[in-house]
Amino acid sequence: MTSLRMTALRRATTDAPVPKDFIVSDPEELERLVDVVGYIYRPALRHGKVLYER
Protein backbone atom coordinates (compact mmCIF):
# COMPACT_ATOMS: atom_id res chain seq x y z
CA MET A 1 0.00 0.00 0.00
CA THR A 2 2.83 2.42 0.79
CA SER A 3 4.32 2.10 -2.70
CA LEU A 4 0.95 2.93 -4.26
CA ARG A 5 0.65 6.06 -2.13
CA MET A 6 4.19 7.07 -3.01
CA THR A 7 3.55 6.64 -6.72
CA ALA A 8 0.40 8.77 -6.50
CA LEU A 9 2.29 11.45 -4.57
CA ARG A 10 5.11 11.60 -7.11
CA ARG A 11 2.67 11.84 -10.01
CA ALA A 12 0.72 14.61 -8.30
CA THR A 13 3.84 16.71 -7.72
CA THR A 14 5.77 16.08 -10.94
CA ASP A 15 5.36 19.68 -12.12
CA ALA A 16 6.46 21.29 -8.85
CA PRO A 17 9.57 23.37 -9.68
CA VAL A 18 11.29 22.75 -6.34
CA PRO A 19 13.30 19.88 -4.91
CA LYS A 20 11.27 17.63 -2.64
CA ASP A 21 11.56 14.49 -0.57
CA PHE A 22 8.59 12.44 0.57
CA ILE A 23 8.31 9.92 3.34
CA VAL A 24 5.22 7.74 3.23
CA SER A 25 4.60 5.73 6.35
CA ASP A 26 1.82 4.29 8.43
CA PRO A 27 1.50 5.10 12.15
CA GLU A 28 2.64 1.67 13.29
CA GLU A 29 5.83 1.77 11.24
CA LEU A 30 6.55 5.33 12.32
CA GLU A 31 6.09 4.51 16.00
CA ARG A 32 8.37 1.48 15.70
CA LEU A 33 11.21 3.29 13.92
CA VAL A 34 11.02 6.89 15.16
CA ASP A 35 13.94 6.59 17.58
CA VAL A 36 16.19 4.33 15.53
CA VAL A 37 19.40 6.21 14.77
CA GLY A 38 20.15 6.25 11.06
CA TYR A 39 16.56 6.11 9.85
CA ILE A 40 15.02 9.15 8.17
CA TYR A 41 12.01 9.24 10.50
CA ARG A 42 13.87 10.89 13.35
CA PRO A 43 15.11 14.03 11.52
CA ALA A 44 11.94 14.15 9.42
CA LEU A 45 9.78 14.40 12.52
CA ARG A 46 12.05 17.01 14.05
CA HIS A 47 12.54 19.21 10.98
CA GLY A 48 9.97 18.14 8.40
CA LYS A 49 6.46 19.24 7.62
CA VAL A 50 3.32 17.11 7.38
CA LEU A 51 1.57 17.89 4.10
CA TYR A 52 -1.25 15.36 4.32
CA GLU A 53 -2.59 13.34 7.19
CA ARG A 54 -5.73 11.26 7.65
DSSP helix, strand, coil percent of the chain (3-state; round to 5): 45, 0, 55
Tens of pLDDT along the chain (54 residues) come to: 567 877 888 888 888 788 877 777 888 888 888 888 888 888 888 888 877 777
Q: Are 6 and 22 in contact (CB under 8 A)?
A: yes
Q: How far is CA 7 from CA 1, 10, 32, in A?
A: 10, 5, 24
Res 26: pLDDT: 82
pTM: 0.49
Res 42: pLDDT: 84
Q: How many angstroms separate the CA atoms of 23 and 31, rounded?
A: 14
Res 1: pLDDT: 56
Q: Are 39 and 23 in contact (CB under 8 A)?
A: no
